[in-house]
Amino acid sequence: MLYYMSAFGSGSNSNGQYWFGPYGFLYKKNVGVGGRRSTKMNPGGNITCNSSTYLYNKYKPGSGGIGASSTSNRRAKNRLATVCGPNQCFPCYMTLGQYSNYTHNPNGFIPCPQPIAPPAPTGQLFSKNNTTSGGFTVGGVIDKDMNDEDYYEEFDPQDYYPQFFPNMAPFTDENIVAGDKVSGDRLLATYWEDWGNDVFDDWGYFYLYDVDSGKYYFPLIDPQNQADGVITTQTFNAFGRTFTIKQGYPVQGIFKFDISVNDTKKFRFGAYGDMGSDGDEVIEFLTYPYTISSTNLTLHYMKHQEEGDNTEILYSYFIPKNVSQNSAITYVYNNDGEDDSLISNEITNGLLVYFSKKNDVKEWVVNDLGLNP
């Protein structure tokens, strides 16, 4: 990053006082007026007044009054930079330099320069639809026990847990739409019973949430409990929008949702239910840096474990397809020690979701990702 600098010398031989010299910039006031020391700060050549350069912790190696050979004697550490008099220099802790027309500046100090943030990554992530381990760790053995039932039979989020849905409309019957389902199935949702002695008991109740209307919709997964490597594509119509969901177990112990939508409006995807740990749990929010096509990204995911049990573990990975929406944690999590909810942030375009039993499969997940510019 760059900081604007120019030399202005005054005062005694305190740290950070500089003045003009024959090289254009930076003679360090080491002692009195007769003891000026050159600190041109190579590498980088001579530094010119009123130009931009990176200041922090530079020094010119050498000896004999030309520079300093030790780290402790480096010149121009910005923590030692002195702020000049009123209307003359930046009042910035991180900056040294004279405002070039300070005598004509009626407002006094000008704003401190801000670090220039790198451009946000762009593009669309997608799944490669891998159905082999690729040599990476996959999930544990699962009892595939997906089923459907009305959302309130085991867990009623509105009556007991409204805090699970921050900045969202109430999860009430009147806010749940039938979409393309028959009206009698409006409240019917898909969930897992246990996955074969997993950390949860009846968890899932997967839903889509339309941000603009504040309405919920339960897409019914069909077929269910297919063999590993079988991915089914389904289309759902709700909120006047069309969602395409690819779902299934690509490999052992990993279930995947690949969700896309035919517009650029916002939506959220979530799940909730009963955790068999009943408060006896360890929850970790984890990250994993990775690179695709020279783009640096971070995988945000969560581990929910029955305390002291190395089998009853659920890993959840929420990955917005829009690359720019992966710059911070990608989901919202709520837990009361007995039941919990996991919801994506507001996203556009689409979402990839992976659930894994027992094992952290971050490397497999990353290997399944591709990037379109």
Domain boundary among 83, 117, 151: 117
One domain, residues 94 and 191 = no
Q: How many structural domains comprise the chain? A: 2
- As averages over each run of 10 residues, the pLDDT of the chain (373 residues) reads 36 41 42 46 45 46 45 42 45 42 46 61 93 96 96 83 90 94 95 91 95 97 97 98 98 98 97 82 94 94 90 95 94 87 96 97 98 90
What's the pLDDT at 56? 43
d(Cα 138, Cα 112) in Å, to the nearest integer? 50
Residue-level length of the chain: 373
Q: What pTM was computed for the model?
A: 0.70
Domain boundary among 63, 96, 117: 117
One domain, residues 2 and 89 = yes
Tokens of 243: 């969602």
d(Cα 287, Cα 125) in Å, to the nearest integer? 17
DSSP string across 78-103: GGGPPP-STTTB---TT---B-TTGG
Q: Are 246 and 232 in contact (CB under 8 A)?
A: yes
One domain, residues 42 and 112 = yes
d(Cα 371, Cα 373) in Å, to the nearest integer? 6
One domain, residues 139 and 242 = yes
One domain, residues 302 and 358 = yes
DSSP label at 347? B
One domain, residues 111 and 135 = no
One domain, residues 133 and 99 = no
Residue range(s) defining the domain that contains residue 42: 1-117
d(Cα 254, Cα 141) in Å, to the nearest integer? 9
Q: Which of 194, 333, 218 is nearest to 276 (CA)?
A: 194
Using DSSP, state whether 290 is helix, strand or coil. strand
